[in-house]
């Protein structure tokens, strides 16, 4: 069975892009060419009558640049200050770019307690679903300005999987600094092999996961495995694609063999909210 052929029929797609993918590592400035390309692709997906949600990191990175800092902040308070400045600026960039392609974006900021509290979770789900019904593209990020822990969700990989679970998405795409899931870290092992399709996440695959190799990114392959567990057990396929070539999003949906595809499946013994609430994805 060619699992990739069915990707063209996906109707509700969550796409996550990380800080290291939209910020020039050398200077800390925003990569506007990549940002514009991403928005153009998302708008084209909308024009194909697909619901699209973007989970975007980058607020702290934009804030670092705006405040003239030379290094990533180490204290929670300075991180929050960077987020407060950067989130507004980043959203302004997204709004402007989406409007150029006749689409509207809306900011959705989530905190961990908004997910674990039943009433607040329902409100968040209702808001995102209403935005989608109004043909608006939600741009989601963790609300780092009021976060009380340095990392609440673990990483936006995890947040994007939770969003996919909440809105019942059928495809999650993680744009990252590697072109798929490998048997070992390909930066260190030339014999590492990329895996095209993963039908079930076993302990063997978890053991293969490695850490991040970028300055601005906070997640590594371990967080992507955690995201895949949440997404696939929630009924969504998940793909890892290299963010250096955003046209891979179109290639994936066209059924081409790009990145790594994790297949959705039913799991009777996987309690998604227990996994989230007790932060088992951090283990």
Which DSSP string do the residues of 87-134 spell out, in sequence order? HHHHHHHHHHHHHHTT-EEEEEEE-HHHHHSHHHHHHHHHHHHHHHHT
Whether residue 283 is predicted with pLDDT greater than 90 in this model: the reply is: no
Predicted local confidence at residue 1, as pLDDT: 58
Average pLDDT estimate for 276-281? 65
Give the residue from 282, 261, 268, 280 showing the smallest Cα distance to 10.
261
Confidence of residue 152 (pLDDT cuts 50, 70, 90): low
Distance of CA 79 to the CA centre of its chain: 20
* C-alpha separations of 80 from 44, 74, 86 in Å: 34, 11, 10
Predicted local confidence at residue 69, as pLDDT: 92
Confidence of residue 177 (pLDDT cuts 50, 70, 90): confident
Average pLDDT value over all residues in the chain: 87
Predicted local confidence at residue 212, as pLDDT: 44
Average pLDDT estimate for 100-105? 97
- For residue 146, the 8-state DSSP code is T
Spell out the SS3 assignment of 131-145: HHHCCEEEEEEECCC
Domains of the chain, start order: 3-282 (3.40.1160.10)
Contact 178, 243 (CB under 8 A): no
Confidence of residue 116 (pLDDT cuts 50, 70, 90): confident
Most confident of 37-46, 69-78, 104-113, 175-184: 37-46
Average pLDDT estimate for 11-20? 94
Confidence of residue 111 (pLDDT cuts 50, 70, 90): confident
In sequence order, what are the beta bridge partners of 109?
Answer: 141
248-273 pLDDT tens trace: 999 999 999 999 999 998 666 667 66
- For residue 218, the 8-state DSSP code is -
> Of 68-77, 150-159, 230-239, which gets the smallest average pLDDT?
150-159
């Amino acid at each position: 069975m060619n699992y990739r052929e069915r990707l063209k029929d996906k109707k509700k797609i969550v796409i996550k892009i990380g800080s290291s993918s939209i910020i020039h590592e050398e200077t800390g400035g925003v990569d506007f060419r990549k940002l514009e390309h991403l928005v153009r692709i998302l708008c084209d997906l909308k024009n194909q009558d697909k619901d699209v949600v973007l989970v975007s990191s980058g607020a702290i990175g934009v804030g670092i640049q705006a405040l003239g800092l030379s290094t990533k902040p180490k204290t929670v308070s300075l991180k929050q200050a960077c987020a407060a400045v950067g989130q507004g600026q980043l959203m302004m960039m997204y709004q402007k770019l989406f409007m150029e392609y006749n689409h509207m974006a809306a900011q959705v900021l989530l905190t961990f307690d908004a997910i674990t509290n039943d009433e607040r979770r329902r409100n968040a789900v209702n808001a995102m679903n209403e935005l989608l019904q109004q043909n608006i593209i939600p741009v989601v990020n963790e609300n780092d300005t009021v976060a009380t822990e340095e990392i609440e969700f673990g990483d936006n990989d995890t947040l994007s999987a939770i969003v996919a679970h909440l809105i019942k998405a059928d495809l999650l795409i993680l744009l990252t600094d590697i072109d798929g899931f490998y048997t070992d870290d390909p930066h260190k092992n030339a014999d590492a092999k990329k895996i095209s399709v993963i039908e079930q996440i076993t302990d063997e695959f978890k053991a293969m996961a490695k850490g991040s190799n970028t300055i601005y990114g906070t997640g590594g392959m371990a967080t992507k495995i955690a995201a895949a567990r949440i997404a696939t057990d929630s009924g969504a396929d998940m793909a890892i694609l290299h963010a250096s070539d955003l046209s891979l999003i179109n290639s994936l949906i066209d059924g081409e063999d790009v990145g790594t595809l994790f297949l959705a499946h039913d799991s009777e013994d996987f309690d998604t909210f227990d996994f989230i609430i007790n932060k088992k994805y951090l283990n």
